Amino acid sequence: MSMAFLISLGGFLLLGAIGMPIAIAAFAASIGYMFISGQDVGLVAEQALNGLFNSYVLLAVPLFILAANFMNAGTISDRLLTFCIAIVGRFRGGLAHVNVLASVIFSGMSGSAIADAAGIGRVIIDLMTRNNRYPGGYAAALTAASSVIGPIIPPSIPMILYALISGSSIGYLFLAGIVPGLFLALVLMILNVVIARKRDFKRDDVVPLREIPRVTMRAFPALMLPVILLYGIYGGITTPTEAAAIAAVYALILAALFYRSVSWKDFYLLVLDGAKSTSVVGLIIASALVLNYLVASENLPALVADELAATNMSPLVFMLVINVIILVLGCLFDATTLLLIVVPLFLPTAELLGIDLVYFGVVITINIMIGLITPPYGILLFVLNGVTGIPLRDIIREIWVFVAALIGALIVLVLIPDMVLWLPRLFGYTG
């Protein structure tokens, strides 16, 4: 690595450590690199704009954000939550199971862990803590853990970003996330059963069986959104970006016309909120793309690949080592930074060792999502603390058992690649 890159890297880490937003720190470090290396500073803007405007797939990000906003508006989330309560609320620890099932269903709409936690997660926490049914820390910790499922089951904004840097098929990445996402949900539900029995959580109110068809019909139009989305992509009818546009329009029609829960004022506020979220994500992506340019200029991916290849490391050992590295970094950096800056360093080595990039992408995405709930800087913990007022120390005290369970599930997926690749191969994937 050149001295210019080392100084810029040190500046980036220092600025991030003192609290400067990651995107601004990345731009500042990139400008510093250009000055020190004697290159045109205008390259920073050029790389950022070219990266954003020349990537058609990135257009799916604001569209999925908008679709999630429309689906979280008005009565749609209430209908879906009522459906989840009717299905699994009858078991011991029922509302905790509802928490997980709701994350599975809403993951087919938002593609964002933060959106799930701040939206439907807040509603479920209110239900769980009402009348002291569940401790606030436990309810928030479970919500944070179940929100991890959001970006695993399609659609997934992190997987869109991974497809951008790896060249992998978004369609196959989405397919590959379904079984692991359901597996994570099963692990959390089993853990909840054990904890519910151990801590003697009371049974929640049960929806009579005769009410389930009516509740299902009320939620049916909203439940069809993931079906329409996946059918469009895997039926060869739409690209993922076009499917995102259809999802946004369908969600708007449901919210505004079918359920009549969104007024013109609500529409304006939802679009404005979507624009704000998109601008934040877009700024982070743009800055990461510039840093990627610096990394490529230094030829770091090839250097890392050569060094790792020289160790004669087996594919399994490589996967375990990389997952440990990502888990540690996930405690310190946000998901977008890791996906767009750190992960590209290891892609050439993964290809060299014959590791399937779709499998690699899904496993790494799960790993990075676990970082969102890992102290000291797990962003989901701070989000839930902010929207619910539950003390952060209570959430952190309860989160460790869920982190351990999710890491255990991650190890299983690393050891059994077929759990990730079975569904894509069923649809013709040859990797």
Question: Which residue ranges in the chain fall short of pLDDT 70?
Answer: 1, 74-75, 108-121, 131, 203-205
Token pair listed for 129: 């803590």
Question: Which pLDDT does position 345 carry in this prediction?
Answer: 84
Per-residue confidence (pLDDT) for residue 179, from 0 to 100: 94
The predicted pLDDT at position 366 comes to 93
Give residue 205's pLDDT: 67
- DSSP letter string over 97-159? HHHHHHHHHHHTT---HHHHHHTHHHHHHHHHHGGGSS-HHHHHHHHHHHHTTTTTSSS-HHH
The pLDDT value given to residue 271: 86
Residue 403: predicted pLDDT:
93
> What gap in Å lies between CA 31 and CA 25, rounded to an integer?
10
Q: Where are the alpha helices (DSSP H) in 38-91?
A: 42-53, 60-71, 76-88
